[in-house]
Structure 1
Amino acid sequence: MDIEKSLQFTNWLKKISLQFISEKDFERLDKTSIKLKFKKGEMILKQGNQPTHVAFLERGIVKFNFESESNKNTILTLVAAPKILGGANLFYKDNNLFSIIAVEDCEVVLLDSNVLLSLLTTYGRFAVAVYQIASDMFKKSIFNFISLANKQKEGRIADIILYLAENIYHGNSFNLSLTRKELAEFACCSTENIIMTLSKWQNENTIKITGKHLEITNIEKLKQISKIG
């Protein structure tokens, strides 16, 4: 993890903030924030720790990871930049419910929770905007759990491949950032299930895999697998 002393917010976050707060207050948020670089696999926020910052993902892809008491990992969702991470910590003051881990090299701005909460208290419309952005990510986690609860293995895996294409890589041809083990943790199945299912779909010309590269060659069939569960 590398720390940069100088901070320059992306236009995305600055544009959103200045719709609701003053330039002076934005500078206050800027000066109390830290920009960090995380390597793939490094932890950004740790499950069980007391939250002190809200993370803004400036570049890269991260996973929300829950570790059970039996040390079993479940990936709740994946998020691609630009996004506000851990916004729920402002409204839920207990320890972090999950970890946020880089699945590829990332750049993250850590926003001081106390300063941000002060601004949210002062600017009601800003609070609503941040809450809506944070809630959007948790909707995706909820939809994933609905899939897990109501679909069989192939339906769950199809949902994940479609989610990655639509929400993370924004296309039907992409290089997977996740390992087969992580895909299994996302779909709540075994690594062997992932390998066998992807191999089956490749033989059926539904997808094409070359190394880490995955291409959806028959998206209608994949959507049908998702639909029937």
Structure 2
Amino acid sequence: MYSDLLANLDNSSNLVKLFSEQFLNAEEIELIEKHSPKLIFNKGESLIKQGSQSTHVAFLTKGIIKHTYQRENHKNLILAIASAPSLIGGANMFNDGKNIFSVIAVDECEAFLIDIHILKQLLMHNSKLSLQLFDIVSEMSKGSIINFINLAHKHVNGKVADILLYLSESVYKSQTFILSLTRKELSEFAGISEVNFISTLKKFEKEGIVIANGKVIEIIKKEQLKLISKLG
């Protein structure tokens, strides 16, 4: 059940609180449960597809996803990477009915697909829910924009340091983590070539800042990594 799964997630999360009894009454929770099927997405599958009709908001409860935007030259730009619990596609509610980006699973994901019309119906009659949802969507959008701007104005060392810190603090929430993304995907996210990403990672390893063993990354000197990020 939807409500049972919420109880098993981190109760300190503002997102979990959003869909709990703190912001919804029993009737509203029942309405969301009725119109929110839980689906499993395998690696590479799309939760949301750019350009298609916006019909659902996804509440990610397990796994890691990437937000991508396909440019006119058909090359994909990775806008953000997020882990559960996370609200996916909330920004599309304020668009013209079309999804402005794609959301793709980078490992096995579980998500509730909440009918966007049901959610809008609740928002019209629940001002507390509306304000909380707006705050969450704004915070997520702000984080993606700031991250994108920072990466655009840094040199290679600063970009790779930023990516490693972002993965550690915002995605995996640990200084040791197993990458769900390829080196190619991470280089796309950083806005540099795959060769530059790999060579910089090796440089950090030689300097004792990180240990990179296949897909396992361990940040050894986090403060030094933060300094590299700050200097750009």
Do they fold alike, i.e. is TM over 0.5? Answer: yes
- What is the deviation of 1:63? 0.5
Kindly provide the amino acid, as one letter, of the partner of residue 180 in structure 1: R
**Corresponding residue of 2:86:** 83
Kindly provide the amino acid, as one letter, of the partner of residue 97 in structure 1: I
Q: Does structure 1 residue 21 correspond to structure 2 residue 24?
A: yes
Q: Does structure 1 residue 180 correspond to structure 2 residue 176?
A: no
Kindly provide the amino acid, as one letter, of the partner of residue 123 in structure 1: N
Q: Please tell me whether the aligned partners of residues 85 and 134 of structure 1 are also in contact (alpha carbons under 8 angstroms).
A: no
Q: Please tell me whether the aligned partners of residues 82 and 171 of structure 2 are also in contact (alpha carbons under 8 angstroms).
A: yes
- What is the deviation of 1:7? 5.0
- What is the deviation of 1:152? 1.1
Quick one: distance in 1 between partners of 2:17 and 2:59?
Answer: 14
Quick one: distance in 2 between partners of 1:145 and 1:97?
Answer: 16
Moved more, 135-144 or 192-201: 135-144
Q: Please tell me whether the aligned partners of residues 209 and 219 of structure 2 are also in contact (alpha carbons under 8 angstroms).
A: yes
Moved more, 86-95 or 198-207: 86-95
Per the normalisation by structure 1, the TM-score is 0.93
Can you list the C-alpha shifts for 1:170-221, whole angstroms capped at 9, x where unaligned?
1111111110010011101111111111111111111111110001111122
**Corresponding residue of 2:202:** 199
Q: Secondary structure at the match of 1:10?
A: helix
Quick one: distance in 2 between partners of 1:221 and 1:14?
Answer: 34
Can you list the C-alpha shifts for 1:143-172, whole angstroms capped at 9, x where unaligned?
122112321121111111001101111111
Quick one: distance in 2 between partners of 1:125 and 1:7?
Answer: 21
Alignment length, in residue pairs? 224
Quick one: distance in 2 between partners of 1:39 and 1:14?
Answer: 23
**Corresponding residue of 1:133:** 136
For structure 2, the 5+ residue unaligned runs are: none
**Corresponding residue of 1:153:** 156
Q: Please tell me whether the aligned partners of residues 205 and 217 of structure 1 are also in contact (alpha carbons under 8 angstroms).
A: yes
- What is the deviation of 1:14? 6.4
Moved more, 147-156 or 190-199: 147-156
Q: Please tell me whether the aligned partners of residues 17 and 23 of structure 2 are also in contact (alpha carbons under 8 angstroms).
A: no
For structure 1, the 5+ residue unaligned runs are: 1-5
**Corresponding residue of 1:46:** 49
**Corresponding residue of 2:6:** 10
Quick one: distance in 2 between partners of 1:123 and 1:150?
Answer: 41
Quick one: distance in 2 between partners of 1:15 and 1:217?
Answer: 34
- What is the deviation of 1:15? 4.3
Q: Does structure 1 residue 114 correspond to structure 2 residue 117?
A: yes
